Amino acid sequence: MAVGKLVNRVDAVAKVTGRAEYTDDFYRPDMLVAKYFRSSIAHGRVKEINVEKARKLPGVEAIFTYEQVPRIKFATAGHPFSMDPDHKDVADRLLLTRNIRFMGDEIAIVVAEDEIVANKALKLIEVSYEEYKPLIHPDDILKQGAREIHQGSSNIVGEHRYECGGKVDDALKGADYVIKGEYVTPMVQHCHIENHISFAYMDDLDRIVIVSSTQIPHIARRIVGEALDIPLSRVRVIKPFMGGGFGNKQDVVLEPMVAFLTLKLDGRAVQINLSREECMTGTRTRHPFHVQVKTGFLKDGTMVARKMDVLSVTGGYASHGHSVAAAGGSKSSFLYPRMAIEYHARTIYANIPVAGAMRAYGSPQVIYALECATEDAARFIGMDPIEFRLKNIVRQGDVAQVTGKEILSCGLSQCLLKGKELIHWDRKKKEYEKYKTGPVRRGLGVACFSYASGTYPVCVEVAGVRLVLNQDGTVHVQVGATEIGQGSDTVVAQMVAETLGFPFENVRVVQAQDTDVSPFDTGAYASRQAYVVSNAVFRAATSLREKILDYACLMTGEKHGKFDIVEENIVSADSGKFVLTMKELAVDSFYHKERGGQLTSEVSHKTTTNAPVFGCTFVDVLVDIPLCKVKINKIVNVHDSGVILNPVQAGGQVHGGVSMGIGAALSEELLIDPETGYIFNNNLLDYKVPTFIDLPEINHEFVETFEPTSGYGNKSLGEPPVITPPPAIRNAVLDATGVSINTLPMSPHKLFALFKKNGLMDPKGKADV
């Protein structure tokens, strides 16, 4: 039994010894280095570019500008290919561009023998621009006659509306109260510690090999083929160990360019290794959202209607475009399923860095607005926020309105009750009553969420796994699912061991994904992997188990059904008595001259369900009014993710998500100059990722349910922990101070302004104590 057990990560030793090889560790002395020449303006057009001086610099191998790249527009979003022509990602990129759409847009690229030369060459490139006023604020972007950032787009990437659970306008009319709120989330960045990096070379005259830090090797292969107009089979993508992605590498950022360069340079190896500064503004970010919410509810606390209007800003290129606002709208809709909901969203271009996928994909923005609004409704009628939520939240057996599917597992009420107990809600509520005035105030907050376990039915959900019995009786596993640090290889090994009956140590997951070899799987995103792969693994392992037992019958002449697998042996099913070792069986299958053959099993499986997951954050804060600082005394996340496959790793996912959520709540924001589109803090010093001392102890708890549509009862967990810390902290600050902070992050300079405005400080900024 390996599922649910405390087993160490299968790659932990490789990582602590420094032997795990990441993309940059495949250094080859002959490898060339490529560096982008980026625009220094946010909106405009290159009038002229002169690269002659740079080209003459010794050590420069080649320079390409927008004039030398294929005129093929391609989409970069890491989605599976869609057979539905109405559901394609927006193809709005060229490899290099003459039209500048954000500061840092890619105009040219220098290839040189090393980075020092490449950087020198960049300084020798001369460029002149025709400049346009950067379109940064939504009002300017959507104004009649505003310049189109992409021709023919009207600056709108996508728009949709859905209504379910009845007519919202009617339901609002029937409500005792209707409240309105507006909530804004800023642009934040993933800040995985390994920056984007890829290199490519050719291993004959036709075939391009790309080694890349990507969440989506199989998708990257297809998109490189599309961008360069070459057959996909001529491209091989290898993903070695990866230093985090969080969605930023669910996008094809560097792969088409390195492939293009090696093609142009006779197959020489060329690497692009982005600097931190480039990575922070030249890859992807989280979409800023402006959300308006109208909530209708009855005197007894029953919510009857919710109307949401979302504006999502995707920056200079579509990337994941409108999918983010769409997913945020549908995945959050499971949370309060017994009311009328209308959701309208628009995604627009802007002359700011490009937004793409980021952990929980639109849900942190939508749930922030939704859970602030829910809190405001509860407070409006003076009802305890937990009671209010318990009354309205989803329960097992409810029907999800957007999908029409019954919710088969849901432990959200238990999550709320558990969290209430862990934070000592009732006791502290009372205790904190005396901390509502004065310089130090205290409060409690809660927020809950719903999310999904994949992308079906919007996208295909396919997972592949191959199992091979080795000569020594152990098993090797190849999966297409991509290990990016979240621990998927380890839980796959646990699942295989569980179903085969093998010891966990005897299952070895092959650690890199390689599109030439790995079974097809679309990659790491949407917290889909453990859920979707579980259905493939269960089938493959069950079939290999059958084959092994059949082979034992063949060897011994016994009848089917006589044997069982226990650890490393075949035993009698009835008596448990030892029959033969797995090694003996394996050796026979490989080397007996007349019978057997290598025992393998391979399954490619499509999952056509998508289990909702749930959870909540509870937080206890102290607000220092004179310092305008929020201190978290205690934070607890409680999750229903179905069966927990590996408690320590699952805890680790929660810690990481909560810490990212705390960063988004209190300190993280890419600061954009509203005039020029310049980003003031494109580095890890000025952009405030939480450090060790910035974070409190992060507590977590699981309410385990069993999800019947999953191979092992498990549901998603990777992204969800990031969702609710910001609204929970906002609600706690509101509880402590009476001030609603409806834009993130709740940084001191924002609190200073709001505390002044609300009379907590005098106009000179002195705390009114």
Partner 1 sequence: MTSHGFREITFSINGKEKKLHIDVRKSLLEVLREQLGLTSVKQGCAVGECGACSVLVDDVLIDSCIFLAVWAHGKKVRTVEGEAKNRKLSKVQQAYVDEGAVQCGFCTPGFIMATTSFVEKHKGEKKTREEIRKDHAGNLCRCTGYQNILKAVEKCINSDLVK
Separation between Cα atoms, residue 33 and residue 269, nearest integer Å: 9
**Sheet with strand 303-315: strands edge to edge:** 156-164, 340-349, 303-315, 289-297, 177-185
Query: Of 39, 486, 506, 513, which one interacts with partner 1 (CB under 8 A)?
Result: 486
Separation between Cα atoms, residue 549 and residue 558, nearest integer Å: 10
Q: Which of partner 1, ligand FES, none has residue 15 at its interface (CB below 5 to 8 Å by kind)?
A: partner 1
Residue 311's Cβ-count burial label (10 Å; 0-12, 13-18, 19+) is buried
Please identify, using beta-carbon distances, which residue of 9 and 294 lies nearer to ligand FES: 9
CB of 562 to partner 1, least distance (A): 40
Regarding 9 and contact with partner 1 (CB under 8 A), the answer is yes
Regarding 337 and contact with ligand FES (CB under 6 A), the answer is no
User: Cβ atoms within 10 A of the Cβ of 462, count?
Assistant: 19
Regarding 12 and contact with ligand FES (CB under 6 A), the answer is no
Query: Of 36, 199, 246, 551, which one interacts with partner 1 (CB under 8 A)?
Result: 246
Separation between Cα atoms, residue 564 and residue 570, nearest integer Å: 6
**Omega into 745 within 30° of 0, i.e. cis?**
yes
Query: Of 53, 116, 161, 426, which one interacts with partner 1 (CB under 8 A)?
Result: 116
Q: Which of partner 1, ligand FES, none has residue 591 at its interface (CB below 5 to 8 Å by kind)?
A: none
What residues does 306 pair with on adjacent strands?
295, 341
Q: Which of partner 1, ligand FES, none has residue 769 at its interface (CB below 5 to 8 Å by kind)?
A: none
Regarding 15 and contact with partner 1 (CB under 8 A), the answer is yes
CB of 571 to ligand FES, least distance (A): 41
The structure tokens listed for 72 are 């093929």
Regarding 16 and contact with ligand FES (CB under 6 A), the answer is no
Regarding 240 and contact with partner 1 (CB under 8 A), the answer is no
Q: Reduced to 3 states, what is the DSSP secondary structure of residue 140? A: helix
Position closest to ligand FES via CB: 193
Dump the DSSP string for 357-394. --TTTTHHHHHHHHHHHHHHHHHHTT--HHHHHHHHS-
Please identify, using beta-carbon distances, which residue of 13 and 193 lies nearer to ligand FES: 193
Regarding 648 and contact with partner 1 (CB under 8 A), the answer is yes
Query: Residue 343's closest CA among 162, 178, 156, 164?
Result: 162
**# of chain residues touching partner 1 (CB under 8 A):** 57
**# of chain residues touching ligand FES (CB under 6 A):** 3
Ranges within 188-207 binding partner 1 (CB under 8 A)? 190-195
Q: Which of ligand FES, partner 1, none has residue 116 at its interface (CB below 5 to 8 Å by kind)?
A: partner 1
Give yes or no for a contact between 485 and 240, defined as CB atoms under 8 angstroms apart: no
Give yes or no for a contact between 632 and 697, defined as CB atoms under 8 angstroms apart: no
Q: Which of partner 1, ligand FES, none has residue 25 at its interface (CB below 5 to 8 Å by kind)?
A: partner 1
> To the nearest 10°, the Cα dihedral for 333, 531, 656, 327?
-30
Regarding 726 and contact with ligand FES (CB under 6 A), the answer is no
Regarding 193 and contact with ligand FES (CB under 6 A), the answer is yes
Regarding 244 and contact with ligand FES (CB under 6 A), the answer is yes
Separation between Cα atoms, residue 176 and residue 303, nearest integer Å: 10
Q: Which of ligand FES, partner 1, none has residue 292 at its interface (CB below 5 to 8 Å by kind)?
A: none
The residue range among 20-28, 155-163, 369-377, 610-618 that interacts with partner 1, by the rule CB under 8 A, is: 20-28
Give yes or no for a contact between 329 and 308, defined as CB atoms under 8 angstroms apart: yes
Regarding 396 and contact with partner 1 (CB under 8 A), the answer is no
Residues 581-614 as b/e (b if ≥16 CB within 10 A, e otherwise) read ebeebbebbeeeeeebeebebbbbbebebbbbbb
CB of 656 to partner 1, least distance (A): 5
Regarding 485 and contact with ligand FES (CB under 6 A), the answer is yes
User: Which residues contribute to the site for partner 1 (CB under 8 A)?
Assistant: 8-9, 11-22, 24-25, 27, 29, 116, 190-195, 241-244, 246, 275-276, 484-487, 648-649, 651-652, 655-660, 683-685, 689-693, 695, 697-698
User: Which residues contribute to the site for ligand FES (CB under 6 A)?
Assistant: 193, 244, 485
